[in-house]
Amino acid sequence: MIRPRPKGGFSRTCSVYELAYRIKRKSVPPSSVISDAQLKRFGALPHEERFHRGVMYDSLQVGGIWLLAMYSPIDTRFLSYMSSTGEVRDVSSDDVPLAYPTAVLFLRGGSRVAILKGHRSAPGPDDLHAFLERWMEPATPDSKWIVNQLLRTDQLRRIREAKAVTEVTVTAAADDDLLSEHHRDTNPLMSDIARTVRGEKFPHGAVTVGVKLDAKYSPDESEALRKTAEQELSRGTIRPEGGSVTLIGSDGREELMRIVRDHMTIKVAVAGRDPDQVSFTNLAEGMVSAVEEIESRVEAAGRLDVEPPAD
């Protein structure tokens, strides 16, 4: 039985990411947004030149705004075709090729993008990163593009406003260069970890490590731990299921805060003339229609004096 579609349109959730260059040991935001002219020129390339790692990239103009479109071809092997009359047959090579689509909107300022997927299997942030690395020149020859989730600031705010930070625990993927030379040199928590486990990395799973100050900690030590908590939360090392920070509030009370990586998502209304035939074009139009709301939400989330509105 084919489940009836809801009437009155749909909503889809877009996720917001932050772009940066990694130059030596620093993350630097791009100085300008990827321009409409760049996207237009890219879309004019022959389609065979816009394929990379199994994804086809294109540019799309909607309502005067240029988007990046990413398409992942659907593997039709072992699939069946089902008509509205109930006819079922094997998918043949004569059927029209299909793809999972994603729309990418480059937001004002250049360092943030909104990604709206047409399907959970559609291209995502890793494919955007591949696009940037393949076709968009970085700031310097030795720099690399970074695409990170944009986090809500609620927990960052609490860390920064605490009187002191006395303990940080991090649960990280084992392949997340926890023990790289970069982190040994610049991150006090990672330096402690590197000494503790002698630089070993495990091939699979996750590793949980932490640093706890003793009762006679100095203000400088607490401040170093505070910066570490900010860094690890911002760069995405801390996983949703692991990580905690022990805070001392302004009233002198100790508080254990469990870390939740609540990245920013925004619902976008998608409307179509026929609820049974909502298209990727409708998806892109919904995203463009919501551009002002998306940008205002993103700007508000980036300021510590503004509480991000709930979805």
pLDDT digits (tens, 9 = 90+) for 132-183: 999 988 767 788 888 887 766 677 778 888 888 888 877 655 444 444 444 4
Residues 6+ apart with CB under 8 A from 249: 162, 163, 255
Q: What is the mean predicted confidence (pLDDT) over 248-275?
A: 77
Per-residue pLDDT, 261: 58
Main-chain dihedrals φ then ψ at residue 203, nearest 5 degrees: -70, -25
Of 80, 105, 106, give the one whose Cα is nearest residue 95. 80
Residue 247 and residue 263 in contact, taking contact as beta carbons nearer than 8 Å: no
Residue 186 and residue 254 in contact, taking contact as beta carbons nearer than 8 Å: no
Over residues 171-189, the pLDDT tens digits come to 655 444 444 444 444 445 5
